[in-house]
Amino acid sequence: MSLLAVAALEAAVFFNANLHTGADQPKGADAIVVEGGRISYIGPGVKALRRAPKGALRVDLARATVIPGFTDAHAHLSGIGFRELEFDLEGTTSLVELQRKLAARAASTTSPWITGRGWIESRWQPAGFPTRAALDAVVRDRPVLLMRADSHSAVANSRALELAGIDASTTDPVGGQILRDEAGAPTGMLIDTAVALVGRLVPPPTEADELRALELGAARSVRLGWTQLQSAGGTLAEVERLCTLYREGRIQLRLHEAISGPGEDAQQLLAGGVARKPCDDRLTVRTIKLYMDGALGSRGAALLAPYSDAPRSTGLLLNTEVQLFPVLTEALRRGIQIETHAIGDRANRLVLDLYERAFKEVPRDARAVAEPRWRVEHAQILAPADLPRFTSLGVIASMQPSHAISDLYFAPARLGPERLQGAYAWRSLIDSGAIVAAGTDAPVERGDPIQEFYAATVRRSLDGFADDNWHREERVSRAAALRMLTSAPAYAAFEDQDRGTLEVGKLADFTVLSQDLMTVPEERILATRVVMTVIGGEIAFRGR
């Protein structure tokens, strides 16, 4: 039967499964009955087959493992799609390889600009940021702008800098930095807001490109087993594009879209200009995404003390308390959720301080939603005194386990041994009583839930490396990791009554896996394949 035919059915029974419901599980349960997109029964297969409505689709899962649908608590849907469409530098192993890829790209396109993203210099030998001179050696006649994987820095060639008017006399923008050589000339590396000095000149994608990127990003997410993606920082124009795609039946993935702020779009959301379900039950818009600092890899994360490997720098703040506080108090009065990007310990402290001030300014009886479920996105480096504040303030830590196994190659040099003890502290946060929702930050990372589960529970590199600096005591149990990727993100999106566990009455969102993540030896976790992704009872993806 075709997937289109499956999508049209009102009922289905999925049986002969190895179930992990994430909730109280009926004895002998190995089957789920779905009616009208929701779970109507969980129990033994014999009973499920008898209870299923006449004509219900029957799916024998052949003892594959069923878990609540994976939910990515932090990703960038458009960026995932554009990674599929554009010049992808992920996995580049050296500056020489970057140059080789750039040369091939230049030879294959007549585009007036060459743009790409995905490089990470920290594992190159020798490790070091690329420069305009390195790009000039390959392409001099056209402007080049290549984003680092973290999206908080980029390298430009001389032609791009020239077009942007960037030279030795150019001052750093607020919240950004133009890296310079010993003579004061720009090296080509641009940090945080400085990227926009060149980025604003790059021809924007067409409307068709924007739609296609969203469609590709959603399709890729479903193939990887995600049933919902919480998109961290979009626009109202993107919401309209998503509505178009839902109306045309081009995406099935559930989305929780946060609007970037401060700005006009965020103000419109605060004013009630966008419904929480603007066009489709699978799309929610009720959150504003704010930014406090940059990224650790490019030394833009705001630290309480200077970087260990750059003693003159404590990172960058992208917004001020004066800019953010009015948004926070209005959000409490309007029932809008807030999530704020904070990576460094200084940035995390400032965000928690601002949240605490806002909660006092707008007491519970003056709020539209008594339990606001505000979030800190990343929460990577925490001072010991700030770790218990997540629990006391009721703030959710939205973290990405794969960041640790990527960053811990260079984080020891950036932070030094003492601060590493408060870095990527999932276990400590959970033990303190905090809710930790896991995501991927794709396209910064690969966006694979199996990799996130592995990072959270094993805390080793993908090839098995770890040393004392990796603080493997912060790894979590498999049950905790499953909650981080299922029920915790559902809670963070105010959807825990409908999603996150497999229970009668909840939406039939689940992921089917080739092996049991809860019992398979840790060295085999990464070999797990997605067999099927089911959203609202419909088979959105079926593997081979």
Same domain, yes or no, for 226 and 372?
A: yes
Same domain, yes or no, for 24 and 167?
A: no
d(CA 6, CA 3): 5
**DSSP codes joined into one string, 413-461:** HHHHHHHHTTBS-HHHHHHTT--EEE---TTSS---HHHHHHHHHH-S-
CATH number at residue 19: 2.30.40.10
The whole-number pLDDT of residue 86 equals 85
Same domain, yes or no, for 127 and 246?
A: no
Same domain, yes or no, for 289 and 145?
A: no
Same domain, yes or no, for 287 and 357?
A: yes
Same domain, yes or no, for 167 and 291?
A: no
CATH number at residue 352: 3.20.20.140
Same domain, yes or no, for 187 and 301?
A: no
**DSSP codes joined into one string, 78-131:** HHHHHHHHSEE-TT--SHHHHHHHHHHHHHH---SSEEEEEE-GGGSSS-----
Same domain, yes or no, for 446 and 523?
A: no
- Reference 189, options 146, 149, 150, 125; nearest CA is 146
Facing residues of 259 across strands?
234, 288
Within a domain: 81 = no
Facing residues of 234 across strands?
259
* Phi, psi for 325 (deg, rounded to 5): -60, -45
Within a domain: 106 = no
Same domain, yes or no, for 192 and 126?
A: yes
Same domain, yes or no, for 458 and 524?
A: no
Instruction: Answer for the pair 352, 392: CB distance below 8 angstroms, yes or no.
Output: no
Same domain, yes or no, for 56 and 118?
A: no
d(CA 97, CA 99): 5
Within a domain: 292 = yes
Same domain, yes or no, for 374 and 394?
A: yes
Domain range enclosing 155: 113-199
Within a domain: 443 = yes
Domain boundary among 199, 230, 256: 199
CA 541 to chain centre: 21
Task: Report the domain count for the chain.
Answer: 3
Neighbours of 537 (CB within 10 A): 26
- Reference 369, options 337, 325, 396, 395; nearest CA is 337
Q: Which residues of the chain fall short of a pLDDT of 70? A: 1-9
Domain boundary among 199, 219, 242: 199
The whole-number pLDDT of residue 275 equals 80
Which residue do the tokens 């289905």 mark? 12
CATH number at residue 171: 3.10.310.70
Within a domain: 482 = yes
423-456 burial, b at 16+ Cβ within 10 Å, e below that, comes to bbbbbbbbebebbbbbbbbbbbbbbbbbbbbbbb
d(CA 330, CA 270): 7
Domain boundary among 149, 178, 199: 199
Within a domain: 103 = no
- Reference 340, options 359, 361, 318; nearest CA is 318
The whole-number pLDDT of residue 241 equals 98
pTM: 0.90
Structure tokens at 250: 């081009």
